[in-house]
Amino acid sequence: MAATTSRTLELLSLLQSHRHWTARELVDRLDVSDRTLRRDVERLRELGYGIESLRGSAGGYRLEAGTGLPPLLLTDDEGVAIAVGLRSQATAGLRGAEHTTLSALAKIEQVLPAALRRRIEALQSHAAVGPGIGGGRSGGAGGAGAPAPEVDSELLGLLALACRDSERLRFRYTDAAGESSSRSVEPHRLVPVARRWYLLAFDRDRDDWRTFRLDRMSDPFQTRVNFEPRPMTDEEARTRVERALRWRERTVSMRVVAAVSREALQAHLGWWGRDVVAIDAEHCAWPLEADLVENLVMALMWMPRGVAYRVEGPPEVLAFVAEQASRFQAAAPGTA
């Protein structure tokens, strides 16, 4: 009976993770006969799962949509991700959905093992979440469309627990130049910025605060040695990480001085205009930073049409702007 139940649950997990499976794919995955597969499908139907059978050469099985919400099978990582998301939504005060959010959170957390609840609590309490800096109109470092690096959820949970428990860690770290080194740190906070996760920690060998990208960390080792945490608020932690990222990754800057009010330019740029400052009632300045001159100048395409502006910055930036202006003029002759 135990083997039958385990196999049936595995079948359910496969059906929930894929829109359509052929009978042959399921037989091979489960290592069962066609007859056993049909019996397991019938067991799931008796439990209330709507499973559609498809005939023909591409026939197989799939879960029907819109037939109610039977129990879902979640992996440990999926359970943690959903619970953390629900907690964040609940604390954000989602208007009109407070009761359903908290109800769903309670149902999930009450069936999670204690070890997973510890990971959730650590992630929620030791991740400094807030608005990110990043690519796009006002940043350009890396580009807004770049895919986010994958981060191991086990590593994320381990680091969150180390932050919460004030436990020293050792790990290997590969920097932006590709050089690997061994680090011994006192972890403080996990900070998500621009679709990446960072660990703010006190580096014991360098006797100073350091920021580490999680996707560049490997071979974490829990020392089981505790330390006395240094006082720092979430806001201070986030500011320290953002300052480190600007210093490390953004090497070119310029300022766009526009003949328009600060309020009008911010309304046009939206979130990307958060750093715009007023010069007077009819003029404002938009400071920009990026990793490359090309990415920096691309932001000029977002200036409002008909608004006069000038660029202030280092000689290489001004020269590149002048070069691009000449190329645009040559691309549309006779329009001057």
What is the CATH number for 277?
A: 3.30.70
105 and 184 in one domain?
Answer: no
Do both 161 and 230 map to the same domain? yes
User: In the chain, what's the furthest Cα-to-Cα distance?
Assistant: 83
Sequence-distant (6+) residues with CB within 8 A of 291 are 140, 141, 142, 249, 250, 251, 252
pLDDT digits (tens, 9 = 90+) for 270-325: 888 888 999 999 999 999 877 778 888 888 999 999 999 999 988 888 999 999 88
Q: Residue 171 sits in a domain of what CATH number?
A: 2.30.30
Residue 228 shares a structural domain with residue 311: no
Q: Are residues 163 and 212 in the same domain?
A: yes
Distance of CA 221 to CAs 139, 155, 170, 262, Å? 35, 10, 5, 50
Number of domains composing the chain: 4
Lowest mean pLDDT among 14-18, 27-31, 103-107, 316-320: 103-107
320 within some domain: yes
Does a structural domain hold residue 145? no
Residue 71 lies in a domain: no
The pTM of the full predicted model, rounded to 2 decimals, is: 0.45
Do 104 and 174 sit in the same domain of this protein? no
- Note whether 224 and 271 are same-domain residues: no
Domain C-terminal end among 225, 249, 273: 249
DSSP H stretches of helix in the chain: 2-17, 23-30, 34-46, 76-91, 98-111, 114-125, 153-165, 234-249, 262-269, 293-298, 315-331
Verify that 240 and 181 share a domain, yes or no: yes
- Domain of 104, in residue numbers: 76-125
Domain match, 261 and 326 both: yes
What is the pLDDT at residue 285? 95
Question: Looking at the domain assignment, is residue 140 inside a domain?
Answer: no
Q: What is the mean pLDDT of residues 114-118?
A: 72
Residue 34 covered by a domain: yes
Q: What is the CATH number of the domain that holds 54?
A: 1.10.10.10
The pLDDT tens digits for 199-214 are 999 999 989 899 898 8
Q: Is residue 36 part of a domain?
A: yes
Based on the domain organization, do 242 and 174 belong to the same domain? yes
In a domain, 70, yes or no: no
Q: How far apart are CA 300 and CA 138, in angstroms?
A: 10
